[in-house]
Amino acid sequence: MALAAKYETTYAVEEVAELLHISPGGVRAMIRRGELRFVKIGRRYLIPESAIDELGFGAIKLFVDIKKPSAYVRSIRRRSEQARDGTKKTKEAFLAEIKAAE
């Protein structure tokens, strides 16, 4: 009888940095401070998916199917900077939108 081991998905430091929109050095600092669980294999740090969820970023799983999450987030930001007609928002329009949200 073969035993099927089920392993949790792990991410490299660079992948976690891209998901969280921080630098790889920032991820390593989180590891040093004990804020992020990891597994060290040789010289590599691997971060389990559950450790990312523990940070409070459970919605990050939405990005699993997206090949380049950072590019996706940038496209969302670009769209939010545009007016409804596709032109770039003026400074006044942007400030008025912020005041309306307060």
What structural domains does the chain harbor? 7-64 (1.10.10), 66-102 (no CATH)
Cβ contact 63:15 at 8 Å: no
pLDDT in tens, 7-28: 788 999 999 988 888 889 999 9
- Please give the C-alpha separations between residue 48 and each of 9, 45, 55, 74, 89, in angstroms, as whole numbers: 6, 10, 12, 25, 40
pLDDT in tens, 62-89: 555 567 766 776 776 777 677 777 777 7
Cβ contact 36:55 at 8 Å: yes
Find how far residue 11's CA is from the centre of its chain.
Answer: 12
pTM for this one? 0.52
Give the Cα separation of 61 and 37 in Å (integer): 17
